[in-house]
Amino acid sequence: MDVSSTRPLGRSGLKVTIASLGGGGLGNFFRVIDDASAASVVDAAWGAGIRYYDTAPFYGRGRSERRLGAWLDHKSRDSFVLSTKVGRLMAPARGDLEEDGIFLDPSPFNSIYDYSYDGVMRSHEASLQRLGLDRIDILLVHDIGEMMHGDDAPGHLHALKTGGMKALEELRSAGAIAGYGLGVNEVAACLDCLDYGDPTAFLLAGRLTLLEQNGVKPLLAKCLERQVSLIVGGVFNSGILATGAVPGARYNYAEADEAALAQVRKLETVCAAHDVPLSHAALQFPLTHPAVASVLIGAGTVSSVDRSIAGLSTAIPDALWRDLADQGLVDAELAAAAAQHPG
């Protein structure tokens, strides 16, 4: 694959590179990096041809947005596509900083959920200030749904439906953004949004991977029907599809259990039979579906960017996808589509 090749992003009129850089690593996702190292990561992504970048206020409590914006400030604004999130506001911690254990050494702010009209408008304006840019292309509603909020989910969804969606529609109508969608980990939230909104794209993390495809096919079909794009994140399911079934491998933000390790060992065996590293297959699998516009590279080091670019550039034989399906490791319909329509 040519990582600099582009695909349309829904009906927004934008085109995004099939490889994109996720800004979690720039916010110290499980690893503390300094500003110079963060700049080197973005520099490596740009040098590889990546022109779509995603971030969020929550990533390092503003640190990711500041670092990414400072680097992109030196580029023509029309030379890249940028998305960030709404749904959380950053409040000064004033000596009472809440640690989440995911983003290390965060900026001195605590996050407050707010999916209301005012919350979305304030979040958009604050992100522009942190980024130091005059335009954000896509706003994604961050972590709406039961997986994140549990019993509080209905209240947050009500706030979004009755307020936040109005703000997003107004911003799009005014030309302040080209489109909006969700940035979530659950398929149900995306399917629900197709009923109450007119989204451009969904950033779906961890649900369309070599380890997980359960329930995603109805969403893929509806996205094609509605011309809504998918941006796929979490292709390694927090690491295990990059590291393989090694001791301490992480799966969905926690240490992998034996069932996950056993499944990954089977995936590794099939990939090895075709002389394809597991991580390369994991990166390319989502891009074989026509609803997918881009795969996010989550990187906190230059070497991680380089490995991902290499993984996306590797030729993968159609027989690999067929063998994975034959052994029940990948959904048969998705594997057949992958063999017929390689990324």
Side chain identity at residue 259, one-letter code: A
Encoded tokens for 228: 């809504």
Encoded tokens for 204: 């779906």
SS3 183: strand
Q: Is the four-CA dihedral 20, 23, 25, 30 of positive or negative sign?
A: negative
Residues catalogued as catalytic: 54, 59, 85
**Residue in this structure with the two tokens 């063999």, named with its chain if needed:** 339
CA distances from 189 to 120, 184, 273 (A): 18, 7, 37
CB 50 within 8 A of CB 19: yes
- Pairing mode, if any, of strands 138-142 and 109-113? unpaired
CB 231 within 8 A of CB 20: yes
**How far is 70 from 258, CA to CA, in rounded Å?**
43
